[in-house]
Structure 1
């Protein structure tokens, strides 16, 4: 038994059971090895779990969940631990972290059905590589793709740079397998585009951050690999001009437009400091930059001609002030490095207060103008730092401290800055978390910005699935 007559839980008894279930490679107990699981990637969130379970199969995940449920010990599922919101760090020190890093199997590739089925611990880069081996594209693309895991991507409903064309990972998922809080396994790995036979359970687990169960495998959509790709970096004067260019480009190119990324001048400035081997293709600094990529299946070079024509017309009308189109794969990668290096740029420029927000496309300009103005009034000298996926309205708005203000002093105003930014987002009909999840970072704010009806529904679902509140407690539902 794990529980004494007085109700005291014997964690050590549970650990003996986990050792027997998982073997010597399946349980981490040494404090030095626990650090990388307990601490978030940027060090903002720190847990104190004494044990990390590392199951190597769905059956072992189920066995771990069963044992923890019997002992009433909290469970914190963890993927690659690349999240920024603290969703993978335990709050309760009694928690057992359940790492998915040993579930790495490729279960099936079906090119005729354009699907791939993988274990949840497979990294995003590995999923992309397996798809490429059968001449297919898995389009989810993130800066952390070499280390983030597909289960974590699913649990936060990851977006990335190609949502404009392919949608976020929710749109890319046809089926899931998950271990429920009572230890039973739901196998919903169906590669169907149509299935109206009752509730679509997979959507309950996507974006749930492990609060309703542990995703152990997924059947994902893949697509024919593009034969032709054209990439350009252009300069514009305002986000409004960038939005006009987006609409014009989509009207001409339709679904072949796959990425449309917006960056502020400060983002370019600091990425060049952080990545000294990179170079700006422009001789002068510009207020805003847009990285455009389009891909298709015509003969190589067709899309480059189309982009050249669009940008030539935009330049003549003053919508675009400068621009360059990649002429090789190496140049394309250099342009993308300027966008994907924004995390390094933020560190080089100073510790910012991060916001992962989304608003309707028509309100992006309003958001940036209002947030800039409100923050400058509240904190004179604050340095706005904004970049993101303009094509889907997701802006990473991460203002940096005024020159001379220490990161610690700036961090003391985090709640004030968050409230200013998120009040504007809410007023514009947006979301305070677009693709990073809620975790610990946005937990209290969720209760402020979500309606009572939504919060009641969240709690009802949580109670139905996890009556003892052992699955990643303290995340999403408080």
Structure 2
């Protein structure tokens, strides 16, 4: 970055908005897993859309690449600069305002740097619900959620960020601002441009604000932990509960025993909800807008049918909010607990719900053949077919040797996923970790169309280069 550009950037965002000393920049240059690191010419922290537009235009004019970044909680290296030291990290974390909350229209307009939890709290204060929920909600930002089309635990009922978004404000790669902040549920005036930017991981522009859907507040909730004999039973249980609860079934998470063991070992205060060891578990949640919706009776009738069909072998229904939180803590603690066991090779895949049992069996056999003793940590959102299929080394295995086999083992997982008509990225994005491998699993025409869109928006290739699209 030239001295002239550095001065002009400071003129735009003020001295406090530019971080260029190594100590100050360090937190922006490495992802939270410490799996991806880079260097940067500077970190720029604009405080408004106008400042973002000015920064992007200045960088475009100087031929400097821009790496948009939110809470830096991603898992695929999509918000980390490369090692050249010539890129500018554009952090949205100063842009946290809740611009508007329209209860009658059931929408909230927020800036991209708003932390997800703050949006949830703003909605709750107005008697509304913003339903996106995931483990990093206390630090991830709305812009990052949009850039990766985040899913989380409520997709079964509410959908992904694509489904939760009505409008966007985006700074384009040339510095122009596209104002699509419309809170309309019907708008048939041509292409739905916002969908191009959702899931694009900052490669087509910088999302600066969004109009998000709200829903009526949840006033009753029931949570259950169910022991299962096998993955097929999870699919059967899902069908039974859907029949009993309809769209009141808002969460259905699957966890392997290996996942639970890691949490019990490494998360303080974690306790096994059910006596005895079972190979699989489902975490089930029903919710309703009524104060007394009789959800306990609904889940109990569903579980009774599941027991009769052999789809469940034991279960516990949370007696209150504290017990429900403890059950969710088991699910949310898996990722961090697995990191304590050494290298964690993470895979975020999706297959048709009906093919989950086949996916798990085929990958189990192939991975065990490749690495005897490998520990497979499977958990995820069975209601929408999304599994986090993560791998840990055998007990006593060498960290570096296991990391060295990551490409080979990922191929095992991705080959089975592809064979079952699935996707190698369900909700984490491609970033840089899957950028090159996606060419083997995505249709060539899909990639050609994506490259064409990228060329249209960002011909110089300065917006988050090296992410999403293979070279």
Q: Deviations over 1:418-449 (max 9, x none)?
A: 11110110110100010001111001111221
Query: What is aligned with 1:6?
Result: none
Equivalent position of 1:80 in the other structure: 71
Alignment partner, residue 445 of structure 1:
437
Distance 2:30 2:467 in 1: 16
The answer on 1:345 being equivalent to 2:306 is: no
State whether structure 2 residue 53 is matched by structure 1 residue 59: no
Residues 273, 348 of structure 1: 8 Å contact kept = no
Cα shift at 1:306: 0.8
Q: In structure 2, which of residues 157, 164, 180 is the aligned counterpart of residue 165 of structure 1?
A: 157
1: CA distance, partners of 2:245 / 2:395 = 43
CA distance in 1, matches of 2:273, 2:33: 30
Q: Does the CA-based 8 Å contact 1:34-1:50 persist in structure 2?
A: no
Q: Superposition pairs for residues 234-245 of structure 1, below 5 Å?
A: 234-245=226-237
**Aligned counterpart in structure 1 of residue 104 of structure 2, from 106, 112, 127:** 112
Say what the alpha-carbon RMSD is for the aligned residues: 1.0
Q: 1:232 aligns with which of 216, 224, 229?
A: 224
Aligned equivalents of 1:292, 1:313: Cα separation in 2: 15
Residue aligned with 2:391, SS: coil
Question: What corresponds to 2:16 in structure 1?
Answer: 25
Match of 1:4 in 2: none
Q: Secondary structure at the match of 1:369?
A: helix
Which of 118, 127, 138 aligns to 2:119? It is: 127
SS at match of 1:384: strand
**1:379 and 1:351 mapped to 2: Cα distance?**
14
Please tell me whether residue 396 in structure 1 is matched to residue 399 in structure 2. Answer: no
Deviation, 1:317, is 3.3
Residue 313 of structure 1 and its aligned partner are, at CA, apart by 2.6
Deviation for aligned residue 1:188 = 0.3
Q: Within 2, Cα distance between the matches of 1:173 and 1:301?
A: 28
Q: Secondary structure at the match of 2:101?
A: strand
Match of 1:469 among 452, 461, 466: 461
Indicate if the aligned counterparts of 1:31 and 1:50 stay in contact, CA closer than 8 A.
no
Indicate yes or no: 2:37 matched with 1:46: yes
**After superposition, where does 1:138-153 map in structure 2 within 5 Å?**
138-153=130-145
Alignment of 1:424-463 (within 5 A): 424-463=416-455
Q: Is the 8 A contact 2:240 2:305 kept in 1?
A: no
Provide the C-alpha distance between the structure 1 equivalents of 2:211 and 2:248, rounded to a whole number of angstroms: 24
- Inter-partner Cα distance in structure 1 for 2:132 and 2:223: 17
Distance 2:329 2:462 in 1: 41
> Which runs of structure 1 show a deviation greater than 6 angstroms over 4 or more consecutive aligned residues?
none
Distance of 2:152 and 2:209 partners within structure 1:
21
Q: Secondary structure at the match of 1:468?
A: coil
State the number of aligned residues.
469
Conserved 8 A contact 1:136-1:223: yes
Q: Residues 388-423 of structure 1: CA distance to partner in whole angstroms, max 9, x if unpaired?
A: 000000000012111221221100000100111101
The one-character-per-residue Cα deviations of 1:162-213 (angstroms, maximum 9, x if unpaired) are: 0000001110000000000110000000001111101111000000000000
Please state whether the residue corresponding to 2:189 is helix, strand or coil.
Answer: coil
Query: What corresponds to 1:191 in structure 2?
Result: 183
Q: Which position in structure 2 is the counterpart of 1:137? A: 129
Residue 68 in structure 1 maps to residue 49 in structure 2:
no
1:117-173 Cα offsets, whole Å, 9 max, x none, are 000000000000000010001000011001000000000000000000000111000
Q: Is the 8 A contact 1:74 1:472 kept in 2?
A: yes
Conservation of the 8 A alpha-carbon contact between 2:249 and 2:286: yes
Contact 1:40/1:81, CA 8 A, preserved across alignment: yes
The yes-or-no answer on 1:220 pairing with 2:203 is no
Q: CA deviation at 1:301?
A: 5.5
SS of the equivalent of 1:385 reads: strand
TM-score scaled to structure 1, two decimals?
A: 0.97
Confirm or deny: 8 A CA contact 1:236 1:287 kept in the other structure: yes
- Following the alignment from structure 2 to structure 1, what is the Cα–Cα distance between the partners of residues 268 and 276? 17
Q: Is the 8 A contact 2:29 2:38 kept in 1?
A: yes
User: After superposition, what is the alpha-carbon deviation per residue over 1:257-316, rounded to whole angstroms, capped at 9, x for unaligned?
Assistant: 000000000111110111131211111111000000010123425001111121123223
Contact 1:11 1:94 in 2 (8 A): no
Q: Deviations over 1:307-339 (max 9, x none)?
A: 112112322332211110011111110111011
1:16 and 2:18 correspond: no
Is contact 1:235-1:323 (8 Å) kept?
A: yes
Counterpart Cα distance in 2 of 1:21 and 1:113: 35
